[in-house]
Amino acid sequence: MDATRLIKPLLDKEYPMISHGDGIYLYDTNGKRYIDGSSGAITASIGHGVKEIIEEIEKQANKISFVYRSQFTSEPAEKLAKKLSDLAKGGEYWSFFVNSGSEATETAMKIAIQHWQEKGIKGKNKILSRWMSYHGITIGALSMSGHTGRRARFVPLLEDFPTIQPPYCFRCPFNATYPACNHMCATELEQAINRIGADHIAAFIAEPIIGAAGGAIVPPPGYYQVIKEICKKHNILFIADEVMTGMGRTGKMFALEHWDTHADIIALGKGMSAGYTPIAATLVSEKVMEPIQKGSKLIMSGHTYSANPQSTAVALAVVSYIETHNLVEKSAKNGKYLNTKLEELQKKHPIIGDVRGKGLMCGIEFVSDMITKFPFKKEIDLTSLVVSQGQNNGLLLYPAAAGIEGVGGDAILVAPPLTITTQQIDELIELLDQTFEDVEAELQKKGIIST
């Protein structure tokens, strides 16, 4: 084959070439089979090669693929916006369609700022966020992201939005224990608001369950209720970044439902099209829209491909598939099964420090010592070792940052398609068990862990 000109994540790595996919399985051009244990980047929620979606792709393409949003609306775009509004609990939501999760959170940020401007309140321009968070790679989204590794190269260009500690009970930043802690990680938001001044703050953004930056960190019960109260008290909007957690991934349609609360603005992506087309969305509550409707009547954002009929038709078919196949309920039920199996692995493998998550968004954090919970040294890069050994063994896993941010810490996400059966979970667990055995053997050989 000619020398590659494709920029891939690692320029000096050889990547297998994909041939096709079927359900939870992927096949490369050498005929090797992989279990998609991470749904790609927690995206392929309904599995690969789903006939109904492929048919919808063709059906819509035969009608119209693209029109520009300032010239036309389309039936699939209208229907998808209505469907998402119906699915989001807590009132009516308007949808602004974009192409990626980064654009969805960045649009959320811009709409939050515009909301206050249209109310005649100038100066509310900051978006507060948490350390150990990821909201996307564009400059605005990265400014909100408390992901030290991904920020590092661009720090001089970024706003310093990450302000408060994450709700990370496994390594509580306050050395406290739930419930005696009284949600210190949530009440810290009020301290931050008081220090900065609510007059400068448009919104607070958080991933309901921390994904890439934490390995499925689930905040304790009551956490988001406290956050929501603080936001309300100080006239600050609450943005839920459900790009990874949305559309059934955690066993609820939207992960914030686990805390019985709602956001003013919701960012969606990934699972909303399950990888069948690039599309994402910013859902804006009626309350946030109101001053804009009465004011300029124009949201200052937009992308050429926003709300194109092709992508919206595909996403609509995916959402309908999620509903008709009860994938939200399946995610809750099979997620419990997967979690139990992961806990069994934890008993067997000393490198597993914590197993956590909700629904089919499970996380495993690694430790070099179970008692002290010390992470492995950064140079060992345990996460990459696990992920690449998994891939060698035919199991795809998603790398996550965790532990002591920027200094050390390893985690993975196990998040197969929501269509996975219990039998297939057993198959996944077998490969994961083998992967941990292989990695532990390697660590022993290098004298990093003892036998």
User: What is the contact surface with ligand PLP in residues (CB under 6 A)?
Assistant: 41, 100-102, 105, 134-136, 207, 211-212, 241, 243-244, 269
| Nearer Cβ to ligand PLP (210/289) | 210
- Find the shortest distance in angstroms from Cβ 40 to ligand PLP: 10
Of all residues in the chain, what percent are helix, strand and coil, respectively (each to 5)? Answer: 40, 15, 40
CA 423 vs CA 42, 325, 334, 337, 420: distances in Å: 20, 18, 10, 11, 8
Residue nearest to ligand PLP (CB): 101
| Nearer Cβ to ligand PLP (212/315) | 212
| Nearer Cβ to ligand PLP (77/132) | 132
Query: Residue 157 gets which letter from DSSP?
Result: G
- Find the shortest distance in angstroms from Cβ 42 to ligand PLP: 7
| Nearer Cβ to ligand PLP (101/375) | 101
φ, ψ for residue 101, nearest 5 deg: -60, -35
- Find the shortest distance in angstroms from Cβ 400 to ligand PLP: 10
Quick count: other Cβ atoms within 10 Å of Cβ 183? 21
CB distance 402 to 215 below 8 Å: yes
Half-sphere exposure of 168 (CA within 13 A, CB side): 24
Q: What number of H helices and E strands is found in the chain?
A: 13, 14
Q: With CA atoms as reference, report the closest residue to 281 among 425, 131, 109, 99.
A: 99
DSSP 374-406: PPPPGGG-HHHHHHHHHHHTTB--EEE--SBTT
- Find the shortest distance in angstroms from Cβ 367 to ligand PLP: 24
Altogether, the residues listed in the chain come to a count of: 451
| Nearer Cβ to ligand PLP (269/399) | 269
| Nearer Cβ to ligand PLP (312/424) | 312
- Find the shortest distance in angstroms from Cβ 117 to ligand PLP: 24
Task: Render the burial of 135-169: b for 16+ CB within 10 Å, e for the rest.
Answer: bbeeebbbbbbbbbebbeeeeeeeeebbbbbbbbb
| Nearer Cβ to ligand PLP (25/134) | 134
CB distance 355 to 343 below 8 Å: yes
φ, ψ for residue 305, nearest 5 deg: -90, 0
Q: Which amino acid is at 344?
A: E
- Find the shortest distance in angstroms from Cβ 28 to ligand PLP: 23
Q: Does residue 230 sit in helix, strand or coil? A: helix
- Find the shortest distance in angstroms from Cβ 327 to ligand PLP: 19
| Nearer Cβ to ligand PLP (56/207) | 207
| Nearer Cβ to ligand PLP (85/138) | 138
* CA torsion angle 276 92 121 135 (round to 10): -30
- Find the shortest distance in angstroms from Cβ 237 to ligand PLP: 17
Q: Provide the CA 168 distance to its chain's centre, in angstroms.
A: 16
List the Cα angle 40/44/47 in 5-degree steps: 120
CB distance 200 to 165 below 8 Å: no
- Find the shortest distance in angstroms from Cβ 205 to ligand PLP: 9
| Nearer Cβ to ligand PLP (36/207) | 207
| Nearer Cβ to ligand PLP (237/443) | 237
